[in-house]
Chains A and B, each alone.
Chain A
Amino acid sequence: MSPILGIIASSRAVASNSYESIATVTIGSGGASTASFTSIPSTYQHLQIRVMAKTNDGNPYGNAAVTLNGAAGEYRHDLYGTGSAAGASASATSFISYIGGTAQFGVAIIDILDYADTNKNKTIRSICGVDNNGSGLAAMTSGLETSTTAVSSITLTSNSGNFPQYSSFALYGIKG
């Protein structure tokens, strides 16, 4: 196949106003074990966190535990693939999203639906993974926080050591 056969897509600049950046945490040279967002406004329908991060986990992947309003006791189901096998797991104590270990940066897209609705428990989903050219993990996770309190703060915590420099966590609001 030759790129000469390709199609150069046409440009079309159209402004959008339903997806807004709220805040970003970029980890500095010293590293940090957590990344937090506080005073999240309740003016959106959904939240999305876009992550690029490593941990100090010696496995091919690490994870970030996601805590809403400082509360523990969240539920989770995972479906994952390691490159050679697929599996599933569950937890009654935490919601995590998989990211990188020590080798490569992993990425995650985490959605928190109807985060400001005080009539609903909170549902989270994540698509996430990391590849190390010979090992890796691709996963989809679903989580539940049994609280009807509006979410005003989110903390992501490394499962092993610090998130190193260049790890980034960007919080967006999606309007209904």
Chain B
Amino acid sequence: MPSTYEPIATTTLSSTASIITFSSIPSTYTDLFLVVACLDNGGGRTRLRLNGDSATNYSRTNLVGNGSGSASYSGTNEAQFDLSVAAGTSSTNPTAQMISINNYANTTTNKTILSRYNLASGAVEMMTGLYRSTSAITSVSYFTQGTMQVGTTATLYGIKAA
């Protein structure tokens, strides 16, 4: 059996940054999987943009649990995916974010993603999002409403089906 879960690229912030971009992503995998441990001073949302596209081609459905209740939120015709909407970010406690972009290189269908977001001091969230584009995904940008802090890490993996 071919082994097929490979890191494509990784970054660790040695200075503050507003965005982390993985570009020139090869089309040789089936799915992409992005893992982020984010430190951020904004206390706001974490976000994702594909192919640098800032047009209103994104929509989402979020599910949130905060320790005392659950809720669901949505967004339509947005300029990015809002991966987390309720928990906020922390500059001291890293948020664990895992994002799956399935069949990212196909040029026939729109793209649907799944995201998990965990902040132990805040909430657990998941999101499913639709990117209305049939273009293959060649770049992925992760950003927040604040500024990401030193020590934030992000790794992009490629998963290849037989």
Contacts and interface: CB of A to CB of B under 8 A. Distances in A.
A10 B9 contact: yes
A104 B130 contact: yes
Interface in A148-172: 166, 168, 170, 172
B55 interface: no
A108 B162 CA distance: 18
A51 B102 CA distance: 8
Contacts of B63: 79-81, 86, 138-140
Contacts, number: 201
B2 to A, nearest CB: 6
Contacts of A84: 72-74
A133 B114 contact: no
Contacts of B70: 79, 81, 86
Contact of A19 (B5, B18, B154, B162): B5
A139 B11 CA distance: 30
Contacts of A52: 102-103, 109, 112
Interface size class of A (residues with CB under 8 A): 35 or more
A9 B20 contact: yes
A131 B30 contact: no
A115 interface: no
Contacts of A12: 7, 9-10
Interface residues on B, range: 35 or more
Contacts of B159: 19, 50, 172
A136 B128 contact: yes
B78 to A, nearest CB: 9
B21 A16 contact: no
B2 A3 contact: no
A16 B3 contact: yes
B8 interface: yes
Contacts of A106: 112, 128
26 contacts: A5-B17, A7-B17, A10-B11, A11-B9, A13-B7, A19-B5, A21-B1, A21-B4, A21-B162, A23-B162, A50-B31, A50-B161, A80-B72, A81-B62, A81-B63, A86-B71, A104-B110, A107-B100, A109-B114, A129-B126, A133-B132, A137-B128, A138-B62, A139-B63, A166-B106, A168-B161
Given A132-B130, A138-B128, 10 more contacts: A6-B141, A19-B159, A21-B2, A81-B73, A83-B61, A105-B110, A131-B112, A133-B130, A138-B62, A138-B127
Interface of A: 1, 3, 5-24, 50-52, 79-86, 100, 104-109, 127-134, 136-140, 166, 168, 170, 172-173
Q: 6 nearest interchain CB pairs? A: A81-B72, A129-B128, A83-B74, A81-B63, A19-B5, A136-B61
